[in-house]
Amino acid sequence: MDEEITIDDLKRDVKEFCEKRDWDQFHNPKNLAIALTIEAGELLEYFRWDDGNDAEERFKDSVKRGEIEDEVADVLYFIVRLAQRYDIDLSRAFNEKMEENKEKYPVEEAKGSAKKYTEI
C-alpha cells in the first residue's frame, strides 16, 4: 500500500478529516507539536524497560504489533497534519535532512559506531 499512496494523498485525507470536524482552530504549531510528542511517547511505552531483543519480540506478537502500528500511525498523522497545515514539503525537507546527515555522519567514520558523532 505504501507504493500506492503519496504524501499528498495523506495530506488531502488529513485536511478533509480535520475540516469536517472544524479542528483547524485547535491545530496550531504548538498544539500539533505537543500532540506529536505525546503520541511518540505512547509509542515508546511499548519498549520501556526492554532490551533490544525484547523490543524485537514485540513485532512477532500480532496483537502487540497491531498496537504499535496504531501508535506509529498516530505519530504519522500529526507529522502529516503539521506539514499539511503549514505547507511543509515533507519529501524536500526529508531529502535535505538526509543530505545534511550524509555530511555530518560520513560512512567511513560512522559505520558500525553508536558513539555520539562528536566522539567519532
pLDDT tens column, 105-114? 999 888 888 7
pLDDT, residue 4, reads 94
Grid coordinates given for 79: 507529522
Are 27 and 85 in contact, with CB atoms under 8 Å apart? yes
pLDDT, residue 119, reads 55
How far is it, in rounded angstroms, from Cα 32 to Cα 18? 13
Burial of 39 (0-12, 13-18, 19+ CB in 10 A): buried
Cβ within 8 Å of residue 29, ≥6 positions away? 82, 85, 86
Furthest CA-CA distance within the chain: 51
**pLDDT > 50? residue 120:** no
pLDDT, residue 57, reads 87
Amino acid identity for residue 80 in this structure:
V
The domains of the chain are located at: 7-88
pLDDT tens for each residue of 31-90: 999 999 999 999 999 988 887 778 888 899 999 999 999 999 999 999 999 999 999 999
pTM: 0.87
pLDDT, residue 67, reads 97
Class (C level, CATH) for 7-88:
mainly alpha
